Amino acid sequence: MAIRTPWEPNQRIEHGYFRSLQGITVHLREAIKSETDPFKIVRILKTILNTPAFHRYAQETALRMVTNLFVSNAKSWREAARQSSKSRIIYNALQRELQGPVGGAVSFQIQRNAELIKTLPLDIAGRVTDYISEESFKGRRAADIAENIQRMFPENSKAKAQLIARTEVSKTSTALTRARAENIGLDWYEWRTSEDQRVRSSHKHMDRVLVRWTDPPSPEELIGERSYGHYHSGDIFNCRCYPAPLTGIDRVSWPHKVYMNGTITMMTLSQFRQLAA
């Protein structure tokens, strides 16, 4: 059994975000409810995207998710502070943080997520268009096609909503942890995985490896796979890994695996101290 750490991303927030994204679909279905012309349905879906009400909804949904993560991530830091010699520094930073780089990270994530939410209606409109051309080709009546389109909701956005919720909660969580860590001069973190069957092999290879915020690895390259570029723990699609900031050198056992400049090396504490100095 894996021991839970305070840094693990909050699944409750992920589920809540998913439900809000699906809520958009319910709203869209409502807007096309009495339509019998399939092409008009597509037009309506595309128009909704540009309404102020939809923009407001996207903004509020993103704001709620990021704020929830912000609060839950702060709790992780307070928990870490209790076990760390740097507790005073961490507490003080949490008090002042919204004025500094952390506040910047928060508003950046809200904007990014709001933009992503706005892609949902377009994604659905695209699916509906494909569906219309397939069905018309089969010679089906427009009204029947329109009726089926209504029934496709909210299933037709489920996969996309799930991908957004999982990926974005993880990415935002990593961004908040990073902003808070760098703000108080914690340069290193330990790459943690969810430690279950679904962890991809490239990330399994990174489990418990120490990484510096300024030097992200390409986990795929490290095991000879095609690279997705260099990125931090949790900062890629469908990833449930997370960074656990190294709040004290005694927080991990030594010797320990360290990633640096494209390779993973087993290092003793004194080797690591020279590096971190």
Site residues (vs Zn ion, CB under 5 A): 203, 239, 241
Report the run of H or E that residue 267 belongs to, with start and end. strand 263-267
Least separation, in Å, of the C-beta of 87 and Zn ion? 29
Q: Which is nearer to Zn ion, 111 or 238 (by Cβ)?
A: 238
Q: Which is nearer to Zn ion, 38 or 234 (by Cβ)?
A: 234
Q: Which is nearer to Zn ion, 242 or 272 (by Cβ)?
A: 242
- Helix/strand/coil (H/E/C) assignment for every residue in 138-178: CCCCHHHHHHHHHHHCCHHHHHHHHHHHHHHHHHHHHHHHH
Q: Which is nearer to Zn ion, 64 or 230 (by Cβ)?
A: 230
Strand partners, 260: 263
Q: Which is nearer to Zn ion, 46 or 200 (by Cβ)?
A: 200
Distance of alpha carbon 80 from alpha carbon 71, whole angstroms? 14
Per-residue burial over 19-29, b = 16 or more CB atoms within 10 Å of its CB, e = otherwise: ebbbebbebbb
Give backbone dihedrals phi and psi of 89, rounded to 5 degrees, phi first. Answer: -60, -45
Q: Secondary structure of the chain: what % helix, strand, coil (to 5)? A: 60, 10, 30
Exposed / middle / buried, residue 137 (Cβ in 10 Å: 0-12, 13-18, 19+): exposed
Q: Which is nearer to Zn ion, 80 or 239 (by Cβ)?
A: 239
Residue type for position 30: E
Distance of alpha carbon 23 from alpha carbon 232, whole angstroms? 31
Q: Which two tokens stand for residue 152?
A: 């496709």
